[in-house]
Amino acid sequence: MGKIFIYECKRLLCNKFFFGILLILLFYGRQVLNDITIMGVSHTAPFSAWSFGDYLSRMIPVLWIATLLFLTFFTSPAARRVSVLTDAAPMPPRRYEAVRCCAALAASVLTALVCIAEAAVFYGVYFGRCDIGSLTAPALVTALPAIMFALGSGRFLGQINERLVYIWMAAPLAAAALPLPGAMGIWNGSFFTEYPLLTGSTEPAFAVPAEIAAVQCAFLVCGAVMSVCRFGKK
């Protein structure tokens, strides 16, 4: 299994496609950091957990699309034709799919880490400081559920029809433009821009209300469940 996992990771990471995603991610991240984050969010410091969370929420569409694009390596017509051979291989098909899903998750997490590293470098260059510990909570509550749900839902849709994966790429863009309920404020960024103002403090400590934490956990769990389940007649 280890060799198959490494092979699938190489397929995803060692190609022009992956480096193209990184270039887009770094360019867009630079624009957000220089035009928005540097001003601070809701009167908080640019290097605060709130400003960093706002940055990550703006990066969710790129991370989401990148995760779904990784899945297209496994849901394309060519991959479906190869699945006839993999189903006949000694390794159980479910285990093989799990390995490929883990490879896609690893590639997605690596992409998110590049996004976080770009912000860390930005903070170090402009402010001479970067408290990684304070950035961990916003990263876990913002990026991880989005990546996991994109992976699981994308895999589910890809087993129905590979074209649905491409249509699903527009989901976070729609979420960012819609007036979502407060519990889903992370998906359109309203949580990071509005909640600090409600605390009455100029530099409030980062905290996640129970309803938002519950929604993010739900997305995380749903994504994980859809990632390990096998749908359809394949």
Mean pLDDT of 159-170: 90
Q: Is residue 234 in some structural domain?
A: no
Domains in the chain, number: 1
Q: Is residue 101 in some structural domain?
A: yes
Distance between CA 210 and CA 37 in Å, rounded?
A: 26
211 contacts: CB under 8 Å, gap ≥ 6: 182, 183
Mean pLDDT of 100-129: 92
Residue 162's Cβ-side half-sphere holds a number of Cα atoms within 13 Å equal to 13
For 185-223, how does the pLDDT look when each residue is reduced to its tens digit (9 = 90+)? 999 989 999 888 887 777 788 999 999 999 999 999 999
Cα Rg of the chain (Å, integer): 19
Q: Is residue 233 in some structural domain?
A: no
Q: Is residue 59 in some structural domain?
A: yes
64 contacts: CB under 8 Å, gap ≥ 6: 146, 147, 150, 169, 171, 172
In 10 A of CB 182, how many CB atoms?
13
Residue 177 sits in which domain range?
2-228
Distance between CA 91 and CA 207 in Å, rounded?
A: 45
| Distances, alpha carbon 33 to alpha carbons 14, 128, 192, in Å | 28, 15, 15
Residue 234 binned pLDDT confidence (cut-offs 50, 70, 90) = very low
Residue 172 binned pLDDT confidence (cut-offs 50, 70, 90) = very high
For 128-164, how does the pLDDT look when each residue is reduced to its tens digit (9 = 90+)? 878 888 889 999 999 999 999 999 999 999 888 888 9
Residue 43 binned pLDDT confidence (cut-offs 50, 70, 90) = confident
